[in-house]
Structure 1
Amino acid sequence: MRSLPLWIGLILISVTPLYLTYTYELPNILIGLITLMIAIIALTFSPHDFDISKDSSTALLIAFLPLSVFLKFPFNVGFILLSIAMVLEVTAYRFKRIKKYRRFLKGIFFSGLASTVVYSFYPLHVILFSHYHRVDLLSPILSNLLAIFGVRSSVNNGLVYIQTYYQTFPLTVTWEKLCILVWINLLLLFLLFSFLYSDKRRFCRNLVIFVVVGWIYLVVRLVFTVILYCDNLDLRAFWDTSLIVISFIPLSFLLAPVVKFSESRLVLKSRGRKDAIFIILFFLFIFFLVGAFVFEDPGARKSGKILIDEFHSDWEDTTREMDKEWYGELSTYNYYWWARWLDIYYDVDMNTDQGLTFELLKNYDILILKCPTAPYSPAEIKDILRFVEEGGGLYLIGDHTDVFGMNTYLNQVSKHFGIIFKTDATYELATGSVSKYEPPFLFAHPIVKTLDRFEFLTSCSLDVPINCENVIIGYGLIGEPGTYSTSVFFREPFSAPDVEYGFLVQAAAVHYGKGRVVAFTDSTCFSSFCIFMDGYKNFNLGTIEYLNRMNVYDCLNTVFAIISTISFILFLILSPKEDRGRMLFVALFSASLSFLLSAPVFDCINALSYQLPSDELEHPKACFDMGHSSIEISPSPRAYGVRDLYNTFFVWTERVGWIPSIERDLKSCIRKGDAIVIINPDKEFKDREIEGLKEFVKNGGKLLVMDSIRNKLSTANQILNNFGMEITTKSMNLSVKNDSILIGNVTCPYLTVKGGDTNFSFGDDSFLSVKRFGKGKIVVFVDSYTFSDEVMGGVFTEPSKKQRSVYDVEFFIFEKLFSDGQD
């Protein structure tokens, strides 16, 4: 059992991604780091060891340190640990007393090496298991094993139907329920230590034992997990990270006696110039491997003529104007502003009265099929395929649960490109709410490269080919199957284990002939009530820019893959296989330097090839400064009921021709906006921000500052005093009477504004004030609560007469007070 500490350490490192990344649950950094520390301690007592010369450790330190800084946590964990190990190794040569702590250095080195391998392959795991979930071949095996433990079940079409006292529920066998991530990580680490410490004969024996024991363990573990679920009907039994960790610890006791490695000493060393050819070959292998996966063909840009098909769609209409007279759900639950927004940058037409033919499509560069509620004919599908094959772009927009049959109709077309819109609805595993997506630091698809975040409003997921381009892979998700038994096809709350969870594809792209196809799964995000929130507008511009290209250099990915493969084969043929420490040194050194160069190179090439069109708009733009405002503007259902929600005020600017935007800081507002809106400011303004605001207004910009008596930490006067204006607090005494009998007096505070050129007053106190400054204007309103959703209602409200009067005040501000004429 001398190998037990090694296997405990390797298993703990294999599970750390579940704590440190958003795989199933929100990251728990503290527990993850504690788990990693325990792994380091376990590997300290491993019977295996290594030696490295001072020159070699210095060279590796030079290679590891930049990646420790360049990569984001936790993908730099391995390089941080390896850097620490190399620093301690170099120090040990100078201070001999440190050598007594070398055992701990060994634990750090092996943990760093193992972590580097695990996190290097993690992105590949994300890609692979976002495409493949179900393992129906194991369903009969699971059913038979459950019978041994007295659980009644049957199998039909790959589903295991489990019978309990109260109900029968379906269960799918998926890679996630088997915890394949942990097993693959452990397999990678087994292969690593086999390479370092096993001969060929021992390796074959160990591999067979490892695979057999591992798979038996995975299946038996799943049996007990299902039994646990049957006892409490809590789906967390399948993905709770702590349960997963605990359940894999016994595997180390099974593997330690039967899977053993040689206890020889590994010597990492370099032979200087003699290693140059090996370093170059491995460098080329990694460099072009990154290029094969990451490079995006810039293509040949087209003229940008877009056709939106309305003929097959009765949902998310683009044709009726969103104005000051039409209210209710459909007045904002439409694509009017989405289409108008695209028309600012491109040439957009709507097809409202005819089927899709090639004679029609050949006049356009991009076809958009959004939310279809009627089928496409075989002739139409044939012409769409021809349009794409000859260089057209196709944008497919579906939604959750096959609502209104739209995914069924889209699949008539999309299946020819290998894309299937599923009939599920996706949510966050951790919260059960709608999901959020943040693009990765490296290698984000060009469509989402400019996004900070994207908040879904309930998408479906996609079944796409493995060689597609993964635009958005959602993380920590659950996909609940839809049902035709409810009005919008959402299944009634039911904790059934027939769900898919983990990584789900929510947007994807494929090349087809000379053209391109993009599939997106949440049509609601582009509705007029939220198109200008979060990352929705940039996502659409990124999509159109991507589709507005004809494929030219897409063969380069294959060329890069061939070069990478040849380089790796030559490395294997020429390298000294008997000197494994030398090969490990070459691989670590060259791979680190190659990735440090290739990652930013290919990322920058893609970013330069796909830039969003210029933000010079013909419509005035109102930028809401969220860096100083203490309000909420969000399309998410999580925001409903929030007291300081200002969604309706934000969206209603669209009714008078303004384009609103949410900005994280004042600097962005000044750079992008024609008007800046600050509501209930409660954060300090820096001197440079105030100077920037003054210059902005002086040059013709408009500034709207709204405050409330409830904003106790108001910083509004920090701005207004620079324009000769001020908000002050006053109070009025009110008598409380009952049948003309005085009970007492109460004091009611309120705000008033002074210093304006034009004032709108109640008595002697101004509640709305306007002042010119240079070429611009400042407008101050001292009762912001009036414009909150609590007063104005939501974006789907059929307004009362009182609410209409509030709307008119907002329209007056943006149409009249923000005009360049007289106030």
Structure 2
Amino acid sequence: MMRSWLGVGLLAGSWLFGLGLFGAAQWPAWMIAVLAGAWLAADTPLPSWPRRERFWAAILLLPAVGFFPWPYRAGPMAWAAGLVLPLAPIGRRWPAAVGRALTAAGMLLAAQAGLLACYIAWTARSHELPAMLAGLVANLLHLWGIDAAAAGSEAVLRSFRAVHHLAITRELVLDPGSLAFLTGGMALLGLRVWSFGGHRGWTMWARSATGLLVLVAAWLPVRAALLAGVMLQRAERLEPSDRLNLIDPLLSAWVNLALLVPLALGAWRFLGREALRAGASDPSRQHVPGRGSGEAAGPGHLPAMAALVLLGTAAAAFFGQWSPVGRRMPGRVTVVERHSTWEPTDRPYDTESYGEEASYTYWAIYQYCGQYYSMSRLGRDEPIDAERLGSTDVLVIKTITERYAPEEIQAVRQFVEDGGGLLLIAEHTDRRIQTPYANDLASQFGFKFRQDLLFRVGNAYEQEVRPGRVPHPMLAQVPPLVLAVSCSIDPGWSVGEAVMRDMGLWSLLPDYHADNFFPEAELRPEARYGAFIQLWAARWGGGRVAAWTDSTIFSNFCTFEPGKAELMLAMLEWLNHRSVLDKPWALMALRGLAMALAVATLAGAVVLARGSGSAWLVLAAAGFGGVAAGSWAVAGLHQRAMPLPKPQKALPHVVIDRTVSEVVLATDGFTDRGGGWGFGLLEQWIPRLGYVTSRAQGPEAFAGDALVIISPTRSVSDQFRQSLTDYVEQGGKLLVIDVLGSPGTTANGVLAPFGMSVRHATSRQGVLRLAGGWPALPVEGACEIVGGQPFAWVDDLPVAARKRYGQGEVMAVGFGLEWNDRSFGGHWMRQP
């Protein structure tokens, strides 16, 4: 039985590597942990299920295998494979042995998966635990001779360097590995009862499960105190110049895995031997093939039972995740400038305005949204009252820098209750004292913005967000995007939807000594870590509210990076819809009915399954298949329910090619990744001309009015070349920018169909002379452009030319060095 308990521990620990809850997923380590856990779990006793039940259970698990993402998919996949493998017509013993190991591991992983999905949703809402638990950990540290005291939900510890406030969080005390072990252990005990059967089986399970629960409950505070001691020991060993990265062990999957070993040994010592003796000494509980599983369900009952469970769980999964979109409103969007001096929409972003004041505005995103909606501003001197708000469908309140009056707050609340849509946009770390003012409004709807800043574990400043397998309608059409830095949302006890919830993050409070309140990216003891909510949606009265936590991504210098403009459009579009289910009670009532249906169908299946033990295998598989089928259905519905709107008055659209060009572009507006040799600033500054930009590859690269290919180095396929020729011939504009000395340039492969080429062997350095009376410019180096009509020269060498082709035009430039980030000043706040 020790092998089985160690297997449970390894399978529980595998989630620490695969989920990415406390850092990036480590897939090789995850796979090793799962395989080793399955090998150890091979000793788990299993019933001898009939062939028919095995077959139908494997079929019912297929939706889960096909839909669940990794690592959640591993459980049903191993379970299904383990059921089918012994049925293979192979005259050897190993299929049965491997099948038993896979089945046991799959069932344990499946049980743990359900718990961890709920755990992530629970901890994302709040990381805090009652203060009494912090006191318990502090008292344990006292017993070990450590000077500690409790202060709220933190344990205060002293080292030679500083006083440390260790956050006693859900993740520290009720850690996912231990809870997964508890769930897997209860499932293991259940499998043994299922296998041996007997009238006293479930009584023994209840007693053993209670013992396991007591064991885990006793271990958890000891575990937390051990980690606190390790953290304090690290603090004592730090040099004065070292950064305060003290909680790395708390986030380490390997450390958390090692802390599962005492649980596994304790379970074997206190539970395993007694249960084995009980099973061996009671003849009524001996495992006999075909006995413990009970008689097979009758041919008529088995399909009925499976259908009931499948229907009930599918309905619960569907209605539990469904977010009804409703009908579209006229699309009148008002942006409030009153009480906001940050990120204005009325400060131009053009070729005359540079620096922070011009770059940190919402001019570009406001113009972009004007293609799709009737946009207007509520000016700084206009009142916020029912009369003014009565002519809008969606109200955007962003980056509040002055407190709203009580009557203004009431007007906004009434606007939502009367059926309006409200978008609240806040920023990290209480910058410019925005958060308390934003929370005056947010608290009216049951949630608040935290005064914190989120970092990514492992790479503090790069947080890529990808929509999940069941994306909210707001994210269903949004491509992956990289956030700048955001705060998080505390939904409290309010009812709503965590539209964007991400893992592998840690949170710090503001550093008010810094100009922007930005704390150092250090893993300090007071940090909260794990999953956080960054986009929250709620239905209130007859209207809707969405709360977003990273105002920077809509600033001019990064709003057209992938996914960001689309996110703004999706938020406005969701708020521009209404449904009869927007009344919170209506949607809750519908979900309550779905849950009642699920309970009723499950109860019916239980009644039919009485006395037919082997049917429980089919019921469990049908439950997982139903959850997957319901989730699959709602994901497909969300994908189609709210397509992004089509532009009513399109702005010129410039596409930056990523098919044959792989130059470094900006991330979150910052261009430091390219060392000055990237072209992020060129992309950022195209909107100064009144254009919108996007990045695209393949067929999507030809969706704009103009295509810019910068220093191409990838091979040019015949298909791309033909599509490019058709694009220009039908009226598209093509700009090819080549860089002198670019290794492996493929610019000539792009230009060849148009009778143009670039000659790197013929180059010049000197003064660039432009046609049309433009000022002369010094250039470091430029290539000769052959073909077309020249319009720029260095000495007498043509270095830029244009050519009409069909209804379109091609332009080739050989002095791309002058357009890289270094030549543009290196930062968006500098004037070139």
Task: Verify same fold: TM over 0.5.
Answer: yes
4+ residue runs of structure 1 moved beyond 6 angstroms?
none
How far off its partner does 1:613 sit?
0.3
What is aligned with 1:657? 690
Structure 2 residue 392 is matched with structure 1 residue 364: yes
What is aligned with 1:259? 271
Which whole-Å deviations, capped at 9, do the CAs of 1:716-771 have from their partners, x for residues lacking one? 1112111111111225799xxxxxxxxxxxxx985211011344222332111101
Structure 2 residue 746 is matched with structure 1 residue 715: yes
**Aligned mates of 1:610, 1:546 — CA distance in 2:** 8
How far off its partner does 1:164 sit?
1.5
**Aligned mates of 1:638, 1:542 — CA distance in 2:** 25
**Aligned mates of 1:594, 1:494 — CA distance in 2:** 43
How far off its partner does 1:326 sit?
1.5
How far off its partner does 1:452 sit?
2.4
How far off its partner does 1:361 sit?
0.9
Structure 2 residue 728 is matched with structure 1 residue 700: no
**Aligned mates of 1:508, 1:575 — CA distance in 2:** 42
Alignment of 1:27-176 (within 5 A): 27-46=25-44, 48-65=45-62, 67-91=64-88, 94-95=89-90, 97-99=91-93, 102-135=96-129, 136-176=131-171
Structure 2 residue 339 is matched with structure 1 residue 339: no
What is aligned with 2:198? none
Match of 2:149, SS state, is: strand
Alignment of 1:438-453 (within 5 A): 438-440=466-468, 442-453=469-480
What is aligned with 1:215? 217
Structure 2 residue 348 is matched with structure 1 residue 321: yes
What is aligned with 1:755? 787
How far off its partner does 1:617 sit?
4.9
Contact kept in structure 2, 1:43 and 1:111, CA below 8 Å: yes
Moved more, 630-639 or 142-151: 630-639
How far off its partner does 1:335 sit?
0.7
How far off its partner does 1:16 sit?
1.2
**Aligned mates of 1:697, 1:771 — CA distance in 2:** 11
Match of 2:269, SS state, is: coil
Contact kept in structure 2, 1:426 and 1:434, CA below 8 Å: no
How far off its partner does 1:106 sit?
1.2
Q: 1:713 to 1:430 in 2, by over 3 A?
A: same
Structure 2 residue 287 is matched with structure 1 residue 283: no
How far off its partner does 1:145 sit?
0.6
Structure 2: gaps of 5 or more residues = 194-200, 236-245, 280-285, 766-779
**Aligned mates of 1:319, 1:650 — CA distance in 2:** 22
Structure 2 residue 33 is matched with structure 1 residue 6: no
What is aligned with 1:378? 406
Structure 2 residue 513 is matched with structure 1 residue 519: no
Match of 1:272, SS state, is: coil
Q: 1:613 aligned to 641, 645, 652, which one?
A: 645
**Aligned mates of 1:688, 1:731 — CA distance in 2:** 30
**Aligned mates of 2:500, 2:59 — CA distance in 1:** 35
Identity of aligned residues (%): 22
How far off its partner does 1:659 sit?
0.8
Match of 1:283, SS state, is: helix
**Aligned mates of 2:322, 2:150 — CA distance in 1:** 44
Which whole-Å deviations, capped at 9, do the CAs of 1:641-683 have from their partners, x for residues lacking one? 51332122112211111111111x131111x210001111111
Q: CA RMSD in A?
A: 2.2
Q: 2:486 aligned to 435, 451, 459, which one?
A: 459
**Aligned mates of 1:750, 1:362 — CA distance in 2:** 59
Which whole-Å deviations, capped at 9, do the CAs of 1:497-537 have from their partners, x for residues lacking one? 11111101111011101101000111111001111112111
Structure 1: gaps of 5 or more residues = 735-747, 804-823
**Aligned mates of 1:712, 1:224 — CA distance in 2:** 55
Q: 1:618 to 1:601 in 2, by over 3 A?
A: same
**Aligned mates of 2:210, 2:763 — CA distance in 1:** 86
Q: 1:564 aligned to 587, 595, 607, which one?
A: 595
**Aligned mates of 1:721, 1:731 — CA distance in 2:** 18
Q: 1:682 aligned to 713, 716, 737, which one?
A: 713
Contact kept in structure 2, 1:391 and 1:551, CA below 8 Å: no
Contact kept in structure 1, 2:466 and 2:481, CA below 8 Å: yes
Contact kept in structure 2, 1:77 and 1:112, CA below 8 Å: yes
**Aligned mates of 2:188, 2:757 — CA distance in 1:** 71
What is aligned with 2:257? 245
Contact kept in structure 2, 1:422 and 1:461, CA below 8 Å: yes
**Aligned mates of 2:477, 2:118 — CA distance in 1:** 23
How far off its partner does 1:577 sit?
4.3
How far off its partner does 1:87 sit?
3.1
Match of 2:712, SS state, is: coil
Q: 1:412 aligned to 402, 424, 440, which one?
A: 440
**Aligned mates of 2:824, 2:781 — CA distance in 1:** 23
**Aligned mates of 2:60, 2:150 — CA distance in 1:** 53
Match of 1:472, SS state, is: strand
Which whole-Å deviations, capped at 9, do the CAs of 1:613-651 have from their partners, x for residues lacking one? 015652110000123212122233774151332122112
**Aligned mates of 1:600, 1:57 — CA distance in 2:** 24
**Aligned mates of 1:58, 1:211 — CA distance in 2:** 34
How far off its partner does 1:556 sit?
4.8
How far off its partner does 1:560 sit?
4.1
How far off its partner does 1:347 sit?
1.0
Contact kept in structure 2, 1:24 and 1:430, CA below 8 Å: no
Structure 2 residue 503 is matched with structure 1 residue 506: no
Q: 1:776 to 1:391 in 2, by over 3 A?
A: same
Q: 1:100 to 1:384 in 2, by over 3 A?
A: closer
Which whole-Å deviations, capped at 9, do the CAs of 1:358-395 have from their partners, x for residues lacking one? 11111111111100110011111111111101100110
Q: 2:668 aligned to 626, 636, 641, which one?
A: 636
Moved more, 363-372 or 129-138: 129-138
How far off its partner does 1:337 sit?
1.0
Match of 2:173, SS state, is: coil
Contact kept in structure 2, 1:647 and 1:795, CA below 8 Å: no
Contact kept in structure 1, 2:706 and 2:735, CA below 8 Å: yes
What is aligned with 2:15? 17
**Aligned mates of 1:13, 1:256 — CA distance in 2:** 16
What is aligned with 1:231? 233
Match of 1:292, SS state, is: helix
Q: 1:175 to 1:594 in 2, by over 3 A?
A: same
**Aligned mates of 1:592, 1:494 — CA distance in 2:** 41
Match of 1:478, SS state, is: strand
Q: 1:618 to 1:637 in 2, by over 3 A?
A: closer
How far off its partner does 1:595 sit?
3.9
**Aligned mates of 2:52, 2:167 — CA distance in 1:** 54
Contact kept in structure 1, 2:666 and 2:681, CA below 8 Å: no
**Aligned mates of 1:271, 1:615 — CA distance in 2:** 60
**Aligned mates of 2:630, 2:170 — CA distance in 1:** 32
How far off its partner does 1:255 sit?
0.8
**Aligned mates of 2:630, 2:505 — CA distance in 1:** 31
Q: 1:533 to 1:100 in 2, by over 3 A?
A: closer
**Aligned mates of 2:188, 2:673 — CA distance in 1:** 55
> Amino acid of the residue matched to residue 28 of structure 2?
L
> Amino acid of the residue matched to residue 797 of structure 2?
D
How far off its partner does 1:494 sit?
5.3
**Aligned mates of 1:537, 1:705 — CA distance in 2:** 25
Which whole-Å deviations, capped at 9, do the CAs of 1:138-174 have from their partners, x for residues lacking one? 0111111101111111222232211122211111101
Match of 2:120, SS state, is: helix
Q: 1:283 to 1:641 in 2, by over 3 A?
A: closer
Contact kept in structure 2, 1:331 and 1:796, CA below 8 Å: no
